Chains A and B, each alone.
Chain A
């Protein structure tokens, strides 16, 4: 089955720095999503991006299917960006396989 690896496991940033979060998946997919997980557990959808590049504000997601990787770029990080970022990959009918996440901490 699908395996998803996220790196780094954690990241410490000074406010204003950029960051790149990586997600590697083991088999081909037709679904790739990035989420922010709130401390209480619920998910905030950031991107649905099975291929190519998408941008939303300071966030950019790039997925390269043939290299089996996806990335989330955070530019000009802010304290409010702190938290856990999850990527998930899979086949739509069978659901998503999630990575363990990257915990981001942004300090002033």
Chain B
């Protein structure tokens, strides 16, 4: 069974419309959560990270926001999409403590803004 699930798989949206992308982690207690974004032909960039429910840190400003309403859920959203928001969004998790800081990535969401 897959540990990390992202939804939707793909989305086509109009400029100025709202957006909500989701990520759910199954079977892991209190994971660190991350959002990454990659423009077509660009580098994967970290957008946000969260180490606990209700706390989110922004790494790159892209007129997006993130929230962690539950321990196993991470949401990426905006009220008004820009053309520059197009790209591939990846959610990842890692575990607090231990000796390994490995991150595990979800399957991603492809966003096209027209």
Cα(A101)–Cα(B101), bound, Å: 21
Instruction: Mark contacts of A88-108 with chain B using CB atoms, 8 A cut-off: 1 yes-contact digit, 0 otherwise.
Output: 100111111111110000000
A interface, over-half SS:
strand
Interface residues on B, range: 20 to 34
Bound complex: CA A98 to CA B110 (Å) = 19
For chain A, the bracket of interface size reads 20 to 34
A residues contacting B by CB (< 8 A) are: 30-31, 33, 35, 40-43, 45, 48, 50, 86, 88, 91-101
Contact between A95 and B46 (Cβ–Cβ < 8 Å)? yes
Q: A40-B110, A98-B45, A100-B43 are in contact. Are A45 and B104 (CB under 8 A)?
A: yes
Contact of A97 among B46, B88, B94, B108 (CB under 8 A): B46
